[in-house]
Amino acid sequence: MSVTAPTGSNIRVQSQSGDLTVTGVAGLVDVRTASGDVQLDETTGKTLVQTASGDVGIGTAGAVVDVRTASGNVGVGPVGGDALIHTTSGDIRLGAVAGNISARSVSGDVRVSDAMAGQAEINAVSGDVQIGVHAGSLAAINLSTVSGNTDTEFEVTGDAPDGDAPVLEITVKTTSGDIRLHRAA
């Protein structure tokens, strides 16, 4: 099936099985599918994707993104709002995120290329976590891994730094996986 709609149209799709590809710019997006990959070029409104089994890719999201999948990888380019990404089995890849981040994966790696400000809460039971910290941000960190290593490019002190830079609160928990903080590219 092929549907043509004006640029910026809101999209709502419910499907039992089948891939969905949206090319161009969409407004608000609400996709719910039992099985199938979802690929969106660009969204300007809130984006909600729920799938039991399937990979999800979003090129650019101008607002809040909420993606939940039981089995599948999730990749989202820059996000203009909050990013809420949950997968049971799959990797999570996020570009620059302007808002808060909540990312959870039971079995999979989590990578955030540029966390700018707000709260970044990352949980991975079995998987590595990498977070790029936005240049000029002040970061408060809480890292915990049961069986893994932690690595950071930053000097860690117990004193709060002075300044008016954006504050980023990073909380990472993993049971079996490494945690790495680095400067965003």
Per-residue pLDDT of the chain (185 residues; tens, 9 = 90+): 677 889 999 999 999 998 999 999 999 999 999 999 999 999 999 999 999 999 999 999 999 999 999 999 999 999 999 999 999 999 999 999 999 999 999 999 999 999 999 999 999 999 999 999 998 888 889 999 999 999 998 877 767 666 677 789 999 999 999 999 999 98
Inter-residue contact 7 to 23 (CB < 8 Å):
no
| β pairing state of 47-53 and 29-35 | parallel
Inter-residue contact 146 to 128 (CB < 8 Å):
no
Give this prediction's pTM: 0.93
Nearest CA among 69, 41, 34, 40 for reference residue 55: 69
Q: What angle do CA 3, 4, 8 make, to 5 degrees?
A: 120
Give domain limits for the chain.
11-156+164-183
Inter-residue contact 11 to 41 (CB < 8 Å):
no
